[in-house]
Structures are given as structure tokens and as C-alpha cells.
Amino acid sequence: MGYGCTTCIGNSGPLPEPIEEAIKKGDLTVGAVLSGNRNFEGRIHPLVKTNWLASPPLVVAYALAGNMNIDPHREPLGQGKNGEPVYLKDIWPSGEEIARAVEQVSTEMFRKEYAEVFSGTEEWKAIKVEASDTYDWQEDSTYIRLSPFFDEMGAEPLPVEDIHGARILAMLGDSVHHGPHFAGGEHQSR
């Protein structure tokens, strides 16, 4: 689990070493099922070449099945304790079950749970900061600096002008994406 750019761009950590070795040795095409929007080759992990988008319950269903080569509406996801086939319909909640669960949720529960969401933990509260409506940029900081891109920008944008004499830095196909936040290694550019 992480915040920001982790799993969605392959920064959630390595696969177990025997799995990575098997993928490389067998030149395997392995996949992931996810409910996010990162269905690009290598975005979940550099060695995961295919990704399928699905609802969260279907992510669980395919995980139970262990592969994508099934029709979860017609084929069993696995076997129960006594060896009987377990189908998606067996674990999918009915409309009645969903309605009962929804009845248990109230606006007050949300308000109570999130009433202090912006207060922070005791550690967060202990951080000494100046009271201000804007961030107090530190000119000598080597960690976070005020971006210079807006230094000479006025309230009104400058007119758009033609660009002359520009050169191509890289000509890439339409499935190549790259960022400084990707996990390093041989699969840096995705």
C-alpha cells in the first residue's frame, strides 16, 4: 500500500524472486487484473506485460480463479472445501444483500468518521509551522523549491506564437511513456 505514484507505475516493489526468474527464463507474458486505470504494459510491474481493467469484485474473482483464461459467469472460480465447484454467482451478493448493507450506512457515520480528517495525528500536530495562507518557500532548500515557471507570468497569458527552428528530441511510438518516477532498471521507459 502506498500513496501517490506507487502501484500504478510499478513502484510497489519487486515480485518474489522465483517468479521474476520464471518470467524471464520462460519469456512469459504475465498479466494483472486491476480496478484502476493503469492498463499499460509495464505500469503495474516492469515484467507484467498485460493488464485487464475490472470492477473490484471481478478483480477478486479472477484472483480466486488464478488466471484470466476463464469465463467467470459460466466456469467455476475454484473448488469449495468439499471439492464442489464455486461459481461467481455463489459469492456475488444479491440485490437484497446489497440493500441490507446500504441500510446500515448513514450520513452520520460518515460525518463521525471524517470529522477530524484534516486534524492529523499527534505527530502531525507536533510539527512546528508558521501560520500562513500560503507556503513559506525556503530559498536555500535543496528538497522543495518554488518553481520558476511562473516568475514572469502575468495575469493575462501571452499570445500564442508559432515555433520556429525547433528540433525533435525523440520520436516515439504511441505506446511509449516515461517519467522520472518509474522504478529504475532495464524497463525504465514504458
- Geometric angle at alpha carbon 35, from 43 and 5, rounded to 5°: 40
93/90 Cα distance (integer angstroms): 8
Q: How many residues make up the chain in this entry?
A: 190
Q: Note the pTM of the prediction, 2 decimals.
A: 0.56
Listed in sequence order, the residues at least 6 apart from 30 whose beta carbon sits closer than 8 Å to its beta carbon are: 23, 47, 48, 49, 50
pLDDT in tens, 29-45: 988 888 876 666 777 78
pLDDT in tens, 155-183: 898 899 999 999 998 887 776 655 555 55
